[in-house]
Amino acid sequence: MKVKVNIYKGTPDSKGKYVTYNMDVPATDMVLDILEKIYHEYDPSLSYRYACGIARCGECAMVINDVPCLACERQIEPEMTIRPLDLPLIKDTVINRRQVFDHIKEILPEPGDIDDIYDSFEEMDEATSHRKIENSIRLTTCFECMICQSMCPRYRSDDQGFPGPLGLLFLTQMNENPAQRPLSEKDLDMLAASCVGCGKCARFCPAEKKPLHLALELLKHHPAKAVTAHMVDGKTTVQEVDESV
């Protein structure tokens, strides 16, 4: 298959540009195959990140024809424009994931209460409910690809408060896990003040069980505080937890 690829090249301190390649590749190729080919045959300095190749580690997320997605499972098209996610850039298609994680780390509750609360599975079972388990499972199917983070109009990694949708998801994961303490008033205030409930973050989430939809929904219904009225836009419907999955 003949393809035309426009790929972003640039660093934070230089003016980026798009470089175009025309090539002939197997029709079964994924976008990540194309990046490998460019690195091997055309541009040894091309920076791209990946690890697993099976849509699991989330490291290969980038924007392909204006859709943020995982390059390792995105099929090729005759013409493609490839650029990094809208997050702090390192080089070319590679964003600064470490900075985002570090930022989220700031808001995670301190340890101390995580030491050996439960001695046995059975004891933990008593403290939880079917609902919590189902929620917790679904919330932890996230790939940490940061697509949501890149879509959020309210997230900025230099902003000390709001940890973005991925941070919001992390907090919700802990909230639904019986071994953790529930979200504090402080956390809720912070989330309520920053998240406008637009639902943009959840729109391109590649995780099948849509963990972020659930996180937003849970926050909306959190007894202590409804985050905002219009949690999710028309395009992203929040699914109820599907017991049959």
What are the residues binding ligand FES (CB under 6 A)? Answer: 50-53, 55-60, 70, 72
Cβ neighbours for 218, distance < 8 A, ≥ 6 positions apart: 135, 172, 175, 176
Q: Which of residues 12-51 bind another protein (CB under 8 A)?
A: 26, 28-30, 32-33, 36, 39-40, 44-51
Judged by beta carbon, residue 43 or residue 134, the one nearer ligand SF4 is: 134
Report the alpha-carbon distance of residue 26 to residue 2 in Å, rounded: 9
Report the alpha-carbon distance of residue 222 to residue 113 in Å, rounded: 22
Asked if 163 touches ligand SF4 (CB under 6 A), the answer is: no
The answer to whether the beta carbons of residues 10 and 18 sit under 8 Å apart is no
Report the alpha-carbon distance of residue 207 to residue 61 in Å, rounded: 12
The answer to whether the beta carbons of residues 205 and 199 sit under 8 Å apart is no
Q: Which of residues 161-200 bind another protein (CB under 8 A)?
A: 170, 173-174, 176-180
- 200's contact among another protein, ligand FES, ligand SF4, none, with CB below 5 to 8 A by partner kind, is ligand SF4
Asked if 67 touches another protein (CB under 8 A), the answer is: no
- Residue 90 backbone dihedrals phi, psi, to 5 degrees: -100, -60
Minimum Å gap between C-beta 19 and ligand FES is 22
The answer to whether the beta carbons of residues 190 and 107 sit under 8 Å apart is yes
Sole window of 22-30, 40-48, 106-114, 198-206 interacting with ligand SF4 (rule: CB under 6 A): 198-206
Asked if 200 touches ligand SF4 (CB under 6 A), the answer is: yes
Q: Where are the alpha helices (DSSP H) in the chain?
A: 31-37, 97-107, 121-127, 130-139, 147-151, 164-176, 185-194, 211-220
Interface with another protein (CB under 8 A), residue from 208, 224, 230, 239: 208
Interface with ligand SF4 (CB under 6 A), residue from 32, 76, 100, 207: 207
Judged by beta carbon, residue 3 or residue 147, the one nearer ligand SF4 is: 147
Q: SS3 of 35, please?
A: helix
CB atoms near residue 55 (< 10 Å): 19
User: In the stretch 20-59, what mask flags binding to ligand SF4 with x, by CB under 6 A?
Assistant: --------------------------------------x-
Residues that contact another protein, how many (by CB under 8 A) = 74
Report the alpha-carbon distance of residue 238 to residue 245 in Å, rounded: 16
Asked if 110 touches another protein (CB under 8 A), the answer is: yes
Minimum Å gap between C-beta 91 and ligand SF4 is 21
Report the alpha-carbon distance of residue 233 to residue 245 in Å, rounded: 25
Query: If 0-12 CB within 10 Å is exposed, 13-18 middle and 19+ buried, where does residue 40 land?
Result: exposed
Asked if 85 touches another protein (CB under 8 A), the answer is: no
Q: Which residues bind ligand SF4 (CB under 6 A)?
A: 58, 142-148, 151-152, 154, 165-166, 168-169, 195-201, 205-207, 211-212, 216
